Chain A
């Protein structure tokens, strides 16, 4: 019988069982790395470095995980915080999104080869909308869980998801062949 996340966490807490933690990493590495690749706009190397630090931080602070949320939600929160710290250092959090937003309003500037590419359309969204859409629509988090991950009000998450979805639809519609 396969152990649940809760079982594995209990083993890490009781015996400092690193094999159990390894299993948790194996289970969640794809979703955490995927989230960070979206946040870093497919900078795979940076995303994987941040994902690695996310798991190391999770291991060091696993005693603070109270089991009130899903383990994956807790990991997303650490990953998002780690991304923000890094973005602040790189000063990329402000500025780049506005530039790319201009591209969104003018679909002709987009490489025709990338039309219908949903992931590319997603990358054109501003960071706060992109993050909300990735968490809620792609990773299946509820609005409430996403609000906890991003540490913002529930209403803001709902607005960001709504706006993000609408922009994605508009962008994809603009790219559609006549």
Chain B
């Protein structure tokens, strides 16, 4: 009798590669239409809500006067404090960018999971 390894090898060799022969094209022809319209709808809702929120904030703040007041206040701060503030903002934005990049990249996500 043949051993397991030989039997497995013969089984693999006995199953030839099946040529596509139009199979993929037939599958593609039967796929439901891509859901692009939903992405457009989502983008439109997000932009609409952002514009609406910004408009309300502008009106409630008396025409954006608080921004001018904030800038005047900032100009009176010492320069080293502004630099520290800018550096801190950069760190926070950078950290968020790295987290989102890891979440969007399967290889990096697996690597992080493996290391942990």
Contact = CB atoms under 8 A, between A and B. Distances in A.
B35 A16 contact: yes
B18 A52 contact: no
A67 interface: yes
**Which of B7, B12, B15, B19 lies at the interface centre, i.e. has the most chain A CB atoms within 10 A of its CB?**
B15
B12 A138 contact: yes
A15 B36 CA distance: 8
Interface residue SS majority, chain B = helix
B14 interface: yes
A166 B10 CA distance: 15
A170 B8 CA distance: 15
Contact of B18 (A29, A55, A119): A29
Contacts of A33: 18, 23
Interface in A125-157: 133-134, 137-138, 140
Given A52-B26, A169-B7, A26 B31 contact: no
A52 B23 contact: yes
A29 B35 CA distance: 24
Interface residues of A, number: 38
B106 interface: yes
14 contacts: A18-B34, A25-B23, A26-B20, A29-B20, A29-B27, A30-B20, A48-B23, A51-B23, A60-B32, A122-B11, A122-B14, A137-B8, A138-B14, A169-B2
The 10 closest A-B pairs by CB, nearest first: A16-B34, A30-B18, A137-B8, A118-B14, A138-B11, A6-B106, A25-B24, A55-B27, A169-B1, A137-B11
Given A16-B34, A30-B17, 5 more contacts: A10-B106, A15-B39, A22-B28, A52-B26, A56-B27
Interface of A: 6, 10, 15-18, 21-22, 25-26, 29-30, 33-34, 37-38, 48, 51-52, 55-56, 59-60, 67, 118-119, 122, 133-134, 137-138, 140, 165, 168-170, 172-173
